[in-house]
Amino acid sequence: MQKDILTRDKTGAPVSSREPEFIQIREIQKKSWRLIAELNTGYHDEAEVREILEKLTGKEVDESVLVLPPFYTDYGRNIGFGKNVFVNTNCTFMDRGGITIEEGSLIGPNVSLITLNHSENPQKRHMTCSAPIHICKNVWIGVGATVLPGITIGEGAIIAASAVVTKDVPPLSIAAGVPAKIIDQVTIE
């Protein structure tokens, strides 16, 4: 028996926007888009931003979490924020595959966390596959970086500005470039 589309989507199985069941994903997206429009229009204090994020994710967001609008997501309900997470302005989280940001991590402006990919086959490009992104504790992701599907960034790592992360980054490593490569280790004093 084939799993339902939401389960297949979250677990990385191919999903097509042409499937009749895709309406379930689209309905979740429409709800998210309304909440994102609310978040990104007008002024909201930190408590109001958290309240909107809680509606978006369906989870409690700790009062130590700070997300600065504008903020964009295609789904919302597959994002998890640890305590003391900071997300700067104009970030995009495509979270159908799941995004976990652990405690103490800092996300710079214009960062994109993308959990979806398409087939290289032109006849199958309407299909997407997802893979989760896991950002471990105390990670710092610099301005304009992009993290692609299935990536884990190890505890204490730094991702340099404008890097494109295509492979896992070990703990306490500094990654830079396109594609990102390990260029140094974090010095602990």
- Superfamily assignment of 5-185 in CATH? Hexapeptide repeat proteins (2.160.10.10)
- Residue-wise pLDDT tens digits, 90-110: 999 999 999 999 999 999 999
Determine the Cα–Cα distance for residues 181 and 178; give it in Å rounded to an integer. 8
Catalytic residue among 44, 118, 126, 134: 118
pLDDT of amino acid 90: 99
pLDDT score for 1 = 45
Within 8 A by CB and 6+ apart from 74, the residues are 29, 32, 93, 94, 95, 96
H or E, element range at 49? helix 46-57
Distance CA 72, CA 111 (A): 10
pLDDT of res. 3: 79
- Region 142-162: mean pLDDT is 99
pLDDT tens-digit readout, 120-132: 899 999 999 999 9
Biggest CA pair distance of the chain: 56
List C-alpha distances in Å: 44 to 38, 48, 49, 116.
9, 5, 6, 30
pLDDT > 70 fraction of the chain, expressed in percent and rounded: 99
At 107, give phi and psi (nearest 5°).
Answer: -115, 120
126: annotated active-site residue: no
The residue extents of the domains of the chain are 5-185
The yes-or-no verdict on residue 74 having pLDDT over 80 is yes
pLDDT at 2: 59
